[in-house]
Structure 1
């Protein structure tokens, strides 16, 4: 059966839109119809203006091809400022807020020809207070956070591309729970100007889609690195380091998926070796927690001083912890992270890419919260590029996969390896 337009990958849609065999309006209408059909129960979107969407699409159909994203519908996480839509940061403090300008990545997406379909739901300021969004595979479960609406919308075929932003686990974990590809680039690859900040050390802008080629296309338009649109074939055996954390919190399905991945990738010709991280690396999770608390307490100073009662209890606790933290401790944690980062070339001398858990296991029930970010904190702190690879299911029929982690500033190589691994893991 031929897929409907809303089910096609971004790269397939792009080919039709660039050649004019597809119209931007037809693609936009297909996505809008899917939103109308499903979002009443999924709640992935906080703002969709059909007239605005169709006006963007018609303008693109009447003019020249604009760029890499010409006519592609994109979901915008609601911590990214938009000049023509409300931006409310998942907080009642900003109800009805209308910025005067687009965030830099939003402006770049428009310049490349994207059709902004609307604003996707986020947790409060990209932290831990859940949005109303449900998991597209089973509504009783969480989609994860904080890029909950973006991952749910992509996972439910409402939109082929969506923005994400990660400070702890906010792209990789919801991508894992919703069964989509999440790409957290090397820290700083994509500008975060105009995105509500939490932590200048950690905040990373990224991409959510259904295929590795799709996130690479999106990132190429946002970063300026056009080589990402042409991922090369792999001609020599990939060296894969399998990172098995010594942690009781990992659920059986994650242990099983790591064994499955090792077996299938080795059978496909990869050289799979187990990587045991040194005991010092366990301290990186705490360093991440401390740095995030210290910087979040200061990034949200206006909200803290003028709207304390409208901040959730959980976030107030993080802010209190950050304000009570001694600066010398914060600085020491930054130095520790930098010292660890300096050891990475030796680690990547042994392998081309790491494979590690994206989450403890399948998505928890909605009432249990947005999930444990532990499995992403270390990689976020180190600034490394990460790609979630969705390729199987757990015992409840919910998605399970792993994240691939590459060397700093080797995003193209990571995306190339990720595409190859996902092909082997899904065949």
Structure 2
């Protein structure tokens, strides 16, 4: 057995199991021990069944010994955001409205995880209805700080080494921002790569699935395993998906052409984030084209909010109408504002969203990726919200693939991520560029 197996990345654990140096039971038990030792302070898990996890791991080991076919995640423990339906676990969606909720069916991505051989460890804490009201999870680097939202538990569970992989969702900044705050890799692929069937719907136009891991190869591996076409998901596309793992392990054939947008809200960056990003841009030099985009691009922040607020009021109307007394005072004003948005205003916002997608399709003819902040800076103190998502808003609205790399450190020692955004459905190229950026920055700072 490998000592402290919980520290292994998913790809390292797979190699160890393939060589016979580690079993899935040993890996899962090591992760459970780490959870027991640390989750009292972090509170990353909404539901955990150690016996069920060990039983899944034992079956993985049995299949391996029997010489059966093995999936790409065989024996690897994975955490699921608590808005993802799982038949044998409650899915409570971060709200007392859904306390004890149990479904007969599982989400499509859970079916893929099972087929891939993953061990479903449990459900990670989310904010109320995956929106603005924070829950109890703390930042593993400093429990006095927030882990971000709404995929708070998934990011914290990976950062605390409870599991090597976790699944989250992003409607605005809920994968990239908590990954930045918690110092993990976070990847939100192109909208439509991963099915949302069996997930809480807050915005049919904006909800997207993403992954957390300890390396680029890890998030690519998980995305490959759960991505597929699904006729039951309106945004799912019936075309082959990019090979994420190939992209994350490939060398860039030429030096990438990168862009940086000087957006008006860049003044929200903390001094540490600004200094760190300036240092990155200085190292990249002429490889980055600095651009001052039209004001219309900044105005997309309001467009995203209008679509999100209108659609959550439509999708969750029954919840708000019948359980208003159980809705937080944080969410209530958002719902009240969303109910004032007219159908015409909503349709106008959708038209602007389509224009933004067309703009970026043309933009990426000349550029491989956009370099951007992942968040405004370090994680805020717990109780002061989950952080500003504005540095993710434009890219999420347009459905573009985004990845955050844990490259910077703030004044108090908390991590700060650097984000790369790529062209739609060229996620493999984005991950290849991210690998190049990691290597280039490492060599430049040696």
Please, what TM-score do these two structures have when normalized by structure 2? 0.92
Tell me, yes or no, if the aligned pair for 1:25 and 1:58 is still in contact at 8 Å.
yes
Tell me, yes or no, if the aligned pair for 2:149 and 2:177 is still in contact at 8 Å.
yes
> Gaps (5+ residues) in structure 2?
229-240
Please name the residue that 2:77 is paired with: 73
Query: How far, CA to CA, are the matches of 1:426 and 1:103 in structure 2?
Result: 39
Please name the residue that 1:16 is paired with: 16
- 1:148-175 CA-to-partner distances (Å, cap 9, x unmatched) read 0000110111110000100111001000
Offset of residue 194 of structure 1: 0.3
Offset of residue 65 of structure 1: 4.3
Query: How far, CA to CA, are the matches of 2:312 and 2:381 in structure 1?
Result: 27
Distance verdict in 2 for CA 1:39–1:99, change over 3 Å: same
- 1:105-136 CA-to-partner distances (Å, cap 9, x unmatched) read 11211110000111100000110111100001
1:330 and 2:346 matched? yes
Tell me, yes or no, if the aligned pair for 2:24 and 2:61 is still in contact at 8 Å.
yes
Query: How far, CA to CA, are the matches of 1:228 and 1:246 in structure 2?
Result: 33
- 1:384-421 CA-to-partner distances (Å, cap 9, x unmatched) read 00001111201111101211000011111111111221
- 1:187-230 CA-to-partner distances (Å, cap 9, x unmatched) read 11100000101000000011111111100000011115472222
Query: How far, CA to CA, are the matches of 2:19 and 2:115 in structure 1?
Result: 18
- Determine helix, strand or coil for the equivalent of 2:132: coil
Tell me, yes or no, if the aligned pair for 2:47 and 2:123 is still in contact at 8 Å.
yes
1:99 and 2:103 matched? yes
Please name the residue that 1:122 is paired with: 126
Distance verdict in 2 for CA 1:26–1:323, change over 3 Å: same
Q: Which moved more, 1:194-203 or 1:412-421?
A: 412-421
Q: CA RMSD in A?
A: 1.5
Please name the residue that 2:261 is paired with: 243
Offset of residue 302 of structure 1: 1.7
Structure 1 runs of 4+ off > 4 angstroms? Answer: none
Tell me, yes or no, if the aligned pair for 1:180 and 1:390 is still in contact at 8 Å.
yes
Query: How far, CA to CA, are the matches of 1:123 and 1:425 in structure 2?
Result: 35
Tell me, yes or no, if the aligned pair for 2:408 and 2:418 is still in contact at 8 Å.
no
Offset of residue 275 of structure 1: 2.5
Please name the residue that 1:254 is paired with: 273
Q: Please point out which of 135, 138, 160 is paired with 2:164.
A: 160
Query: How far, CA to CA, are the matches of 1:295 and 1:260 in structure 2?
Result: 40
Equivalenced residue count is 423
Structure 2 matches for 1:357-368, cutoff 5 A? 357-368=373-384
- Determine helix, strand or coil for the equivalent of 2:299: helix
Please name the residue that 1:208 is paired with: 212
Please name the residue that 2:44 is paired with: 44
Structure 2 matches for 1:381-396, cutoff 5 A? 381-396=397-412
Distance verdict in 2 for CA 1:279–1:360, change over 3 Å: same
Please name the residue that 2:32 is paired with: 32
Please name the residue that 2:244 is paired with: 228
- 1:253-309 CA-to-partner distances (Å, cap 9, x unmatched) read 22112111113334xxx7122122221101100000000000000111121121111
Please name the residue that 2:86 is paired with: 82
Please name the residue that 1:377 is paired with: 393
Offset of residue 18 of structure 1: 3.6
- Determine helix, strand or coil for the equivalent of 1:414: helix
Tell me, yes or no, if the aligned pair for 1:6 and 1:160 is still in contact at 8 Å.
yes
Please name the residue that 2:234 is paired with: none
Please name the residue that 2:236 is paired with: none
Tell me, yes or no, if the aligned pair for 1:197 and 1:203 is still in contact at 8 Å.
yes
Query: How far, CA to CA, are the matches of 2:3 and 2:390 in structure 1?
Result: 37
Distance verdict in 2 for CA 1:130–1:322, change over 3 Å: same
Please, what TM-score do these two structures have when normalized by structure 1? 0.96
Offset of residue 426 of structure 1: 4.3
Tell me, yes or no, if the aligned pair for 1:166 and 1:203 is still in contact at 8 Å.
yes
Please name the residue that 1:61 is paired with: 61
- Determine helix, strand or coil for the equivalent of 1:313: coil
- Determine helix, strand or coil for the equivalent of 2:408: strand
Query: How far, CA to CA, are the matches of 2:439 and 2:326 in structure 1?
Result: 46
1:308 and 2:327 matched? no
Query: How far, CA to CA, are the matches of 2:24 and 2:242 in structure 1?
Result: 22
Please name the residue that 2:238 is paired with: none
- Determine helix, strand or coil for the equivalent of 1:183: strand
Query: How far, CA to CA, are the matches of 2:87 and 2:378 in structure 1?
Result: 37
Offset of residue 15 of structure 1: 1.9
- Determine helix, strand or coil for the equivalent of 1:342: helix
Tell me, yes or no, if the aligned pair for 1:186 and 1:411 is still in contact at 8 Å.
yes
